Amino acid sequence: MTDPHELVGELVAELPEWLPSQRWFAGKDRPVTAVRALSTTELCDGDPALLHAIVEVEQGDRREPYQLLIGSGGHLPEQAGASWIGTGGGKACYEATHDPDLTGHLLDLMARGERVGSLSFEHEPGVELTEGLRARPITSEQSNTSLVYGSQYILKLFRKLSTGPNPDLVLHRALREVGCEHIAQPLGSITGELNGEPVTIGLLQQFMSDAVDGWAMATTSVRDLMADPELRPEELGGDFAGEARRLGQAVAHVHADLQRALGQQEADTAEFDRTVSAMLTRLDTVARDVPELAEHAPALRRAFEQIHDSTAPVFMQHVHGDLHLGQVLRTVSGWLLIDFEGEPAAPAAERAALRSPLRDVAGMLRSFDYAAHQMLIGHPEDAKLAERALEWAQRNRAAFCEGYAEAAADSIGDPRGHGELLRAFELDKAVYEVAYEHANRPEWAAVPLSSIARITTGGE
């Protein structure tokens, strides 16, 4: 019988080539120079066996840990053919998230509350899980991998690992404790150790089989508008403004619940200084790489520095951290917010920090703008379509803010009452978008650049 540690030790030689081909791998910007195995745990033996591994990926001066689920057996299962990694210990090794029988063991271990090696499989207090369900992966995932069990559960496996409390698990538990109605309930977790510190491996939640994500709903509404640009947004059968208003209410309820569960604090002068400094640093960095942004830099600097002139008190609390239309689900009972881990590329300390709820609002406003204006890519000279896209975005942005104001806690209120700060957060998000599009989809950079032009000239 092959020792699991030796098997993974052999397999790491295949990973520098294999890792960059995975959707969830975050290091596609530079070559992998080395991979080292940090830990290996055999979760079930047999043929095939299921192994859990944490590896450290070296890319020049950058070293980051990732988790792998590896199936290992005498032959490659038919359904795992596209997941081939290589050979270790004379056995075929593959990415096990595509093996529904092997990944079923993860749910069974949580149901029984077992500990295997350094990994703890737990169900939440009062939760009884059904064993024996096979899993299927959600293929649209990118930074993480999610497995659906029947029509009941969804398990998110965090691919790039960070030690310490995981915001997604911490915030879901806090929201459950105060009875929040706008989340998928947390049901279980997988935790372990990395370099002697705790690390969250996975989060099990209620699966909403009837859910549709907000981005799909919003872009469908925009496509209806583009198909008949003579109609105004409010005349469409698929007008989205009512949903945008209800979404604003849901986000405000979640913010109020987070405040109630975990508290808040008023931002001081030092916090404003840190915020402005971070915005200016990002602006300078991106403007050096994107000449089209440089012409807007003076106006952006003024908008960021105006934060110092804010007189209304601003409160900090735990927030979603990466809110956009792709992070919300519409079910038959209302809107849900998902994925509270924050911006995946941000450092762990930054994702866990207290922030103004206006950052989440700004993220959603940017998302409405994206949903509308990404439809113009390839049609830059069509004035009628551009006019309708702007009308759609403005109508739904306003509806979202109205809904938010109706349900917001007193310390937050109407986000439009913090105009300069909200404007600065939205512009900072747009600068981030310019950097992302420049590196990944250059033809899309016109979307945030046109927004920056409009906002800095008073068009929003």
Whether residues 173 and 322 fall in one domain = no
Q: Quick count: other Cβ atoms within 10 Å of Cβ 311?
A: 5
Q: How far apart are CA 450 and CA 36, in angstroms?
A: 44
Of the three residues 174, 206, 238, the one that is the final residue of a domain is 206
pLDDT score for 126: 94
Whether residues 18 and 158 fall in one domain = no
Torsion 163-164-167-168 (CA) sign = positive
Of the three residues 150, 185, 206, the one that is the final residue of a domain is 206
Of the three residues 166, 190, 206, the one that is the final residue of a domain is 206
Closest CA to 341 of 156, 103, 153: 156
pLDDT score for 80: 61
Whether residues 128 and 78 fall in one domain = no
pLDDT score for 345: 72
Whether residues 425 and 352 fall in one domain = yes
Structural contact between residues 191 and 122, judged by C-beta atoms closer than 8 angstroms: yes
CATH number of the domain where residue 157 is located: 3.30.200
Total domain count, the chain? 3
Whether residues 197 and 58 fall in one domain = no
pLDDT score for 460: 60
Whether residues 201 and 340 fall in one domain = no
Whether residues 252 and 352 fall in one domain = yes
pTM of the model: 0.93
Q: How far apart are CA 159 and CA 161, in angstroms?
A: 6
Whether residues 234 and 335 fall in one domain = yes
pLDDT score for 81: 61
Whether residues 229 and 177 fall in one domain = no
**Angle at which helices 297-305 and 446-456 cross, to 10°:** 60
Torsion 246-252-253-255 (CA) sign = positive
Q: How far apart are CA 133 and CA 378, in angstroms?
A: 45
Whether residues 160 and 193 fall in one domain = yes
CA distances from 354 to 38, 367, 456 (A): 32, 22, 27
pLDDT score for 229: 76
Whether residues 324 and 283 fall in one domain = yes
Q: What is the pLDDT along the chain (460 residues), one digit of tens a residue?
A: 468 888 888 899 999 999 999 989 988 878 999 999 999 999 999 889 999 999 999 999 999 999 999 999 887 776 666 788 988 888 889 999 989 999 999 999 999 999 999 999 999 999 999 999 999 998 776 789 999 999 999 999 999 999 998 999 999 999 999 999 999 999 999 999 998 999 999 999 999 999 999 999 999 999 988 888 777 777 777 789 999 999 999 999 999 999 999 999 999 999 999 999 999 999 999 999 999 999 999 999 999 999 988 778 889 999 999 999 999 999 999 999 999 998 877 777 888 889 999 999 999 999 999 999 998 887 767 788 888 899 999 999 999 999 999 999 776 788 988 889 999 999 999 999 999 899 888 899 999 999 999 999 876 6
Which range marks the domain in which residue 450 is found?
A: 212-456
Whether residues 241 and 302 fall in one domain = yes
